[in-house]
Amino acid sequence: MADQGAAAAIAAGYATEAGAIELGTVVVDGVADPTARVRLPFATLNRHGLVAGATGTGKTKTLQAMAEQCSANGIPVLLADIKGDLSGLARPGEPSDRVAERAAETGDDWAPTAYPVQFLSLGPGIGVPVRATITAFGPILLAKVLGLNATQESTLGLIFHWADQQGLALLDTKDLRSVIAHLLSDEGKAELKGIGGVSAATAGVILRALVNLEARGGEQFFGEPEFDPADLLVVKPDGRGRVTLLELADQQADPTLYSTFLMWLLAELFEDLPEVGDIGKPELVFFFDEAHLLFTDASKAFLDRIEQTVKLIRSKGVGVFFCTQQPTDVPNDVLSQLGARVQHALRAFTPDDQKALTRTARTYPRSEVYDIEESLTTLGTGEAIVTVLSERGAPTPVAWTRLRAPRSLMAAIGEPAVTEAARASPLWGRYGQGIDRESAYERLSARTGATSAPGTPPAEPVPPQQAPHEAPPQAPPPTEDEGPGFFEKAMANPMVRSFLRSAGREISRGLFGTARRRR
């Protein structure tokens, strides 16, 4: 029989006065106490968190249940749907004996529920296509996608600086290729030296990496209309936050692009959102699935900026949860910023696994009820070792937790259903069709009459553009008969939105080297 006194003592540390995510109930001696609730306060979601565990331990269902409760309480959510399993959030769950048993163990009045879901894809795919311009993405994030080392990353930054100074808009990959090809040409060699003595060999490496990215389909993501991160911050008329799923069926071959795109979104939110300090619930919760992809082979500059962004973005009302198999996948400087820990079972089949297990156990507060290291290897599916920050900001007691079952469908709804939902979305009208306006490629090509296909490097080097930074064309003023709502109608036009997002750049760049917008 479970020690109900111990369970109640642990649960007392999770008591909340305001709203909270109901994670599950305390388990002691293998028995769950339905009255001993384990909660994650909404007020501390912007202190970030970690969801970790081996394959098959229930991480995805944990993310699903957390996203459901955020949505139900008016908090928008972004998740990367790696395997398509999370698309079931759009459909009500199916009752079963197993679900009923889990509901009884966790004190949950379970009812099948569907949630408002928006499906996105990187470039053309099964969801609404989202894109970013090369200029907006910036040199630091692009260097991560291209797999550049620190020296090559610095060189790429100088190339961006030169294009910015020349007023050459880098909207897609062919724009950047045309700029690099120019700087490698006889006409551009002097300018290449003038931007810091950049090595032609290094510039050539970057060009080849860019061509390889295009061969992997990366050119379909870079371009316009550029996705506006503000479209993630949607609360439906019924008060529920919208769940945005980034579908990855077509991007599995290039996972680095997807993970870096998520970091771009986070960086854009950091630059755009106002300071709100500590609030009752966050403006957005950002689930960074397969987080190890973000940190693997990352440069020190990249890691430093991740740490700084995570540290500062909580004051913008954004909570970030990193999801991965091993906590050691996340650098220590980032891990130290994470206030909530939901640790599913770990495996210790190898000496390295055992070392990782020991290191993980040592990061938890001391427990008089559990042997943390042993518990981490004996957790059942849908169970986790949990500690979070209480409403007053103190760590809660360690709790072996039996987690609640999701109320939405715990299965994929299928690509045809996702595609149908995406095309019915209001966002399809904004982002469904790509735009290829005049930019660096066209302007440089016009000087020489080059006719190279956009998908291949120019056959001949092209001369530099010496024109000063041009002011962007002005949007026509409203006429007298345009009544209220004109601005909203104009903003619905993808061309106008794209213009406003890129207009007026000097270019000023933010923490991640992303181009800052003037709204």
The token pair that represents 50 in the structure block: 């970690």
Look at residue 4 and tell me if it is in a domain: no
Are residues 142 and 232 part of one domain?
no
pLDDT for 504: 36
pLDDT value for 124: 81
Least confident stretch, 66-80, 317-331, 348-362, 363-377: 348-362
CA-CA-CA-CA torsion sign (191, 192, 193, 197): positive
Quote the pLDDT of residue 457: 40
> Could you count the other beta carbons within 10 Å of the beta carbon of residue 232?
22
Beta carbons within 10 angstroms of residue 200's beta carbon: 13
Q: For residue 192, give both structure tokens.
A: 């290449």
Tokens of 274: 């106002």
Contacts with 393 (C-beta within 8 Å, 6 or more apart), sequence order? 44, 47
H or E element: which one contains 332? Answer: helix 332-335
What letter represents residue 180's amino acid? I
pLDDT band at 51 (very low <50, low <70, confident <90, very high): very high
Give the pTM.
0.83
The answer, yes or no, to whether residue 248 has pLDDT greater than 60, is: yes
Cis before 225 (ω within 30)? yes
Two tokens at 184?
A: 């490698």
Does 103 reside within a domain? yes
Do residue 148 and residue 126 come from a single domain?
Answer: no
Cβ proximity of 51 and 323 under 8 Å: yes
Between CA 24 and CA 195 the distance in angstroms is: 57
**Which range, 19-23, 186-190, 206-210, 273-277, has the best average confidence (pLDDT)?**
19-23
Domain assignment present for residue 5? The answer is no
Q: Residue 368 is part of which domain span?
A: 22-130+224-427
**Alpha-carbon span 455 to 109, nearest angstrom:** 56
Note the pLDDT tens digit of each residue in 338-356. Answer: 999 999 999 888 888 888 8
Contacts of 278 (CB under 8 A, 6+ apart): 43, 46
Which CATH number goes with the domain that contains 347?
A: 3.40.50.300
Asked if residue 293 and residue 370 are part of one domain, the reply reads yes
Residues 149 and 273 grouped into a single domain: no
Q: Which residues contact 333 (CB under 8 A, 6 or more apart)?
A: 303, 307
3-state secondary structure of 424: coil
Do 101 and 208 lie in a common domain?
no
Ranked by mean pLDDT, which of 68-72, 493-497, 511-515 comes out on top?
68-72
35 lies in some domain? yes
**pLDDT (mean) for 454-471:** 36
**Cβ 273 vs Cβ 312: under 8 Å:** no
> 54 phi and psi, to 5 degrees?
-70, 165
Q: At what angle do helices 134-146 and 200-215 cross, to 10 degrees?
A: 90
**Range of 372-386, 431-445, 483-497 with top mean pLDDT:** 372-386
In a domain, 432, yes or no: no
- Whether the per-residue pLDDT at 518 is higher than 80: the answer is no
DSSP state of 116: -
CB–CB of 245/120 below 8 Å?
Answer: yes
- Contact indicator for 115, 421 with CB cutoff of 8 Å: no
Tell me which of 166 and 456 has the higher pLDDT. Answer: 166
pLDDT at residue 205, rounded to an integer: 92
Report pLDDT for 490.
41
Q: What six digits make up the tokens of 288? A: 């960074």
Give percent helix, percent strand, percent coil of the chain, each to the nearest 5: 40, 15, 40
Q: Is the pLDDT of residue 499 over 50?
A: no
Residue-wise pLDDT tens digits, 382-429: 999 999 999 988 999 999 999 999 999 999 998 899 999 999 999 999
**pLDDT grade for 127, boundaries at 50, 70 and 90:** very high
Write the DSSP symbol of residue 500: H
Q: Let me know if residue 510 belongs to a domain.
A: no
The reply to whether 140 and 154 lie within a common domain is: yes
Q: Where is 514: in which H helix or E strand?
A: none
Confidence of residue 463 (pLDDT cuts 50, 70, 90): very low
Q: Collect all residues with Cβ–Cβ distance below 8 Å to 385 and sequence separation of at least 6.
A: 341, 343, 364, 370, 372, 375, 376, 379, 398, 399, 400, 401
The vertex-72 CA angle with 68 and 78, nearest 5°, equals 50
* Residue 211 and residue 161 share a domain: yes
pLDDT above 70 covers a percentage of the chain that reads 84
The more confident residue out of 466 and 23 is: 23
Residue 6 in any domain: the answer is no
Distance CA 110, CA 108 (A): 5
Backbone phi, psi, residue 480, to 5°: -65, -30
Do 253 and 216 share a domain, yes or no? no
pLDDT: is 275 or 506 the higher one? Answer: 275
Most confident of 212-216, 347-351, 429-433: 429-433
Mean pLDDT to the nearest integer, 261-288:
89
For residue 253, what pLDDT is reported? 52
Is residue 303 domain-shared with residue 416, that is, in the same domain? yes
Give the best-scoring range by mean pLDDT among 187-196, 213-222, 388-397.
388-397
Average pLDDT, the chain: 83
Number of domains in the chain: 2
| Dist CA 225 CA 216 (whole Å) | 21
In a domain, 347, yes or no: yes
* Predicted local distance difference test score (pLDDT) of residue 365: 87
Is the pLDDT at 46 greater than 50? The verdict is yes
Q: Are residues 101 and 42 in the same domain?
A: yes
User: Nearest 5°: phi and psi at 388?
Assistant: -135, 180
- One domain, residues 184 and 238: no
Write down the pLDDT at residue 466.
Answer: 33
Whether the CB-CB separation of 503 and 167 falls below 8 Å is answered with no
Q: Can you tell me the mean pLDDT for 453-480?
A: 36
In this structure, are 258 and 371 located in the same domain? Answer: yes
